């Protein structure tokens, strides 16, 4: 696997999980000693290293009861029945740079059709009221010492048919709300909270984001789009939809905000493999600047949960109902492969592997150290080598194994790295068009198994067009004389 730190992509915000009402109740039920140990295990640099928390505006399906910050009198009243603020303040003491993203499952019932907090749709006549509700919440959080870095307009807006808090909000309604009420109010109240749209599954993301973008005045207030993993990760409507949404406007952010494990199997390595592949690797390779999983903690009965809510969601941790102990679930290891090593402000860097069964993603940290996460999706033991400049890290990876590598370039390799070029090219309709760097002498084309197909002399040409008509379908690697590498697929 070749790593090129001179080619960078998104800047990473971090990794985290949701402190729902259920999570907060369980964390606060731990003894003071165990609670301090738990928070240190999760949020300190010596522990899991999480730095991003998702929290709910009002109740979610994982709360002690159904409630909002305005239950009947049409006056905002900040509430915290489950002690979420207690947990957030304790975490902020451990990590002053903690990031918070907030999402609403349901606004007060009068802002919805049929006036019910559980289920039903957003009533578009209440755009001003709903925006004021959000503004009051953000100001109350700030006044309580927990500024909210980002918010989503509505959790899972295409789901409004449940007996727990939720609300259907189609894309045109969300766009109108953002463009005419919420966006302007955030600015007029001098709130720096970033505003994200969608916050739902991969499969409908592009259509939803495109509609919001086309809605008059909305897009200027949008900072990015958030994604969940409860649809197939495959194909154009899978994880790749994150890239399609990114390409609508490269200045907007992509953030993964919810995924969960299911059932209580301890050491569920199959879940870790799925999550590492589709969330930690593919989601990040498709522009996610952060990964946030669902409940940070649930009990041995998958709760507490609102009646009618999902009954087999697994927390990152399991905390016993009596507060006696806690233990890690599979999702702990999913997060740990990156959260312990990739620091806030790290950049994703280019990484290309000859063997397509080795899925990978790589980063450069602010201190210059490199991190690579690899997953051998085959059943075979494979000898791999991570190469950067004159550094080579050899390793055997057994079938199905996952590994994180961390290294720093030495003084010799840093000089070599300056010579690595970035190949600029595009492949379309069977033609490979290459724009060689000025010092490149030749280009080599290899098949994925390492066999050289062809060598092309550059001779000072600024553009080379190569037909691949006689190439068999497959994966090919283009390498220039300075070490630059590009993968293309026919």
- Whether the per-residue pLDDT at 416 is higher than 80: the answer is no
For residues 160-167, average pLDDT: 95
Comparing 90-94, 114-118, 389-393, the range with the smallest average pLDDT is: 389-393
Which pLDDT band, with edges at 50, 70 and 90, does 484 fall under? low
Domains located in the chain, CATH noted: 12-343 (3.20.20.80), 348-417 (2.60.40.1180), 424-489 (2.60.40.3080)
pLDDT, averaged across the chain: 92
Q: Report d(CA 408, CA 431) in Å as an integer.
A: 38
Q: Which of 199-203, 268-272, 275-279, 304-308 has the lowest mean pLDDT?
A: 268-272
Spatial contact of 402 and 273, defined as CB atoms under 8 Å apart: yes
Percentage of residues in the chain having pLDDT higher than 70: 94
Q: What is the reported pLDDT for 265?
A: 63
Lowest mean pLDDT: which of 259-263, 315-319, 331-335, 485-489? 485-489
- Cα–Cα distance between 51 and 95 in angstroms, integer? 7
Chain centroid to CA 134: 23
The dihedral formed by the CA atoms of 328, 329, 331 and 332, expressed in degrees to the nearest 10:
10
Q: What pLDDT was estimated at residue 415?
A: 27
pLDDT at 25 over 90: yes
> What is the reported pLDDT for 488?
74
pLDDT of amino acid 204 = 98
Q: Which two tokens stand for residue 189?
A: 């109240």
Structure confidence by residue, pLDDT tens digits, 168-185: 999 999 999 999 999 999
Residue 421 has pLDDT above 60, yes or no: no
Residue 187 has pLDDT above 60, yes or no: yes
Which comes out higher in pLDDT, residue 66 or 462? 66
SS3 for the chain is CEEEEEEEEEECCEEEEECCHHHHHHHHHCCHHHHHHHHHHHHCCCCCCCCEEEEECCCCCCCCCCCCCCCCCCCCCCCCCCCHHHHHHHHHHHCCCCEEEEECCCCCHHHEHHHCCECCEECHHHHHHHHHHHHHHHHHHHHCCCCCCEEECCCCCCCCCCCCECCECCHHHHHHHHHHHHHHHHHHCCCCCEEEEEEEEHHHHHHHHHHHHHCCCCHHHCCEEEEECCCCCCCCCCCCHHHHHHCCCCCCEEEEEECCEECCCCCCHHHHHHHHHHHHHHHHHCCEEEEEEEECEECCCCCCCCCCCCCCEECCEEECCCCCCEEECHHHHHHHHHHCCCCCCCEEEEEECCCCCEEEEEEECCCCCEEEEEEECCCCCEEEEEEECCEEEEEEECCCCEEEEEECCCHHHHHHHCCCCCCEEEEECCEEEEECCCCCCEEEEEECCCCEEEEEECCCCCCEEEECCCCCCCEEEEEECCCCEEEEEC
The per-residue pLDDT for 439 is 75
- Give the count of beta carbons closer than 10 Å to the beta carbon of residue 163: 14
Q: Please indicate whether residue 153 or residue 392 has the higher confidence score (pLDDT).
A: 153
Question: Looking at the predicted structure, is the pLDDT value of residue 417 above 50?
Answer: no
Instruction: Name the pLDDT band for 420 (thresholds 50, 70, 90).
Output: very low
Assess whether pLDDT exceeds 60 at residue 438: yes
Q: Give the rounded percent of residues in the chain with a pLDDT score beyond 90.
A: 78
- Could you tell me the end-to-end alpha-carbon distance of the chain, in angstroms, rounded to an integer? 20
What Rg do the C-alpha atoms of the chain give, in angstroms?
24
Joined together, the tokens standing for residue 143 give: 């006044």
Report the DSSP beta bridge partners of residue 466. Answer: 432
pLDDT number for residue 229: 98
User: Pairing relation of β-strands 224-228 and 370-376?
Assistant: unpaired
- Give yes or no for residue 419 having a pLDDT over 70: no
Does position 429 have pLDDT exceeding 80, yes or no?
Answer: no
Residue 427: what pLDDT? 67
pLDDT at position 413 over 50: no
In which band, very low, low, confident or very high, does the pLDDT at 367 lie, cut at 50, 70 and 90?
very high
Which tokens is 452 given? 């050289």
Given phi > 0 = left and psi -120 to 50 = alpha, else beta, which region is 74? Answer: left
Q: Express each pLDDT in 280-321 by its tens digit.
A: 999 999 999 999 999 999 999 999 999 999 999 999 999 999
| 380 and 401 Cβ atoms separated by less than 8 Å | no
In this predicted structure, what is the pLDDT of residue 412?
Answer: 41
Sign of the torsion formed by the C-alpha atoms of 93, 96, 98 and 104: positive
Taking only the tens place, the pLDDT of each residue in 198-223 is 999 999 999 999 999 999 999 999 99
Q: Distance between CA atoms of 488 and 490, rounded to whole angstroms? A: 7
Does 79 have pLDDT greater than 80? yes
> Is residue 11 classed exposed, middle or buried when 0-12, 13-18 and 19+ CB atoms within 10 A define those classes?
middle
Q: Reading across the β-sheet that carries 452-457, which strands appear in turn?
A: 452-457, 442-447, 475-480, 485-489
Q: Which residue has the higher pLDDT, 137 or 457?
A: 137
**pLDDT of residue 274 exceeding 70:** yes
Residues 67 and 57: their CA atoms lie apart, in Å, by: 10
């Amino acid at each position: 696997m070749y790593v090129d730190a001179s080619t960078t992509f998104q800047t990473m915000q971090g990794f985290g999980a949701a402190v729902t009402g259920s999570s907060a109740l369980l964390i606060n039920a731990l003894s003071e000693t165990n609670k301090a140990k738990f928070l240190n295990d999760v949020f300190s640099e010596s522990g899991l290293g999480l730095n991003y928390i998702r929290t709910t505006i009002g109740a979610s399906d994982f709360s002690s009861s159904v409630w909002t910050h305005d239950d009947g009198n049409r006056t905002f009243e900040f509430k915290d029945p489950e002690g979420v603020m207690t947990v957030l303040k304790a975490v902020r003491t451990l990590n002053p740079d903690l990031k918070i993203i907030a999402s609403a499952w349901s606004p007060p019932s009068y802002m919805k059709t049929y006036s019910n907090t559980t289920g039903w749709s957003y009533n578009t006549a209440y755009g001003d009221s709903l925006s004021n509700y959000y503004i009051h919440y953000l100001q109350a959080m700030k006044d309580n010492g927990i500024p909210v870095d980002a918010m989503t307009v509505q959790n899972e807006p295409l789901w409004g048919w449940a007996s727990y808090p939720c609300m259907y909000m189609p894309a045109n309604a969300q766009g109108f709300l953002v463009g005419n009420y919420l966006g302007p109010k955030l600015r007029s109240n001098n709130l720096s909270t970033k505003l994200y749209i969608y916050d739902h599954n991969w499969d409908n993301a592009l259509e939803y984001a495109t509609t919001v973008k086309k809605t008059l005045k909305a897009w200027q207030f949008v900072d990015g789009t958030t994604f969940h993993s409860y649809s197939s990760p495959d194909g154009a409507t899978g994880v790749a939809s994150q890239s399609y949404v990114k390409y609508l406007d490269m200045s907007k952010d992509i953030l993964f905000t919810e995924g969960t494990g299911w059932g209580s199997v301890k050491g569920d390595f199959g879940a870790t493999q799925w999550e590492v592949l589709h969330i930690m690797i593919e989601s990040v390779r498709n522009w996610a600047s952060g990964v946030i999983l669902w409940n940070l903690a649930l009990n041995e009965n998958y709760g507490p949960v609102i009646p009618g809510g999902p009954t087999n969601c697994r927390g990152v941790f399991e905390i016993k109902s009596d507060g006696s102990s806690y233990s890690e679930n599979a999702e702990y290891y999913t997060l740990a492969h990156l959260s312990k090593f990739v620091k806030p402000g790290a950049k994703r860097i280019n990484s290309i592997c000859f063997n397509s069964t080795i899925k990978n993603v790589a980063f450069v940290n602010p201190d210059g150290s490199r991190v690579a996460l690899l997953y051998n999706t085959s059943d075979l033991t494979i000898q791999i080598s991570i190469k950067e400049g004159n550094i080579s890290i050899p390793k055997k990876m057994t079938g199905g194994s996952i590994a994180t590598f961390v290294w720093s370039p030495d003084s010799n390799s840093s000089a070599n790295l300056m010579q690595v070029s970035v190949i600029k090219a595009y492949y379309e309709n069977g033609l490979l068009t290459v724009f060689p760097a000025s010092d490149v002498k030749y280009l080599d084309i290899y098949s994925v198994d390492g066999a050289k197909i062809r060598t092309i002399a550059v001779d000072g040409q600024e553009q080379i067009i190569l037909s691949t008509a006689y190439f068999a379908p497959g994966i090919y690697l283009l390498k220039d004389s300075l070490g630059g590498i590009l993968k293309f697929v026919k």
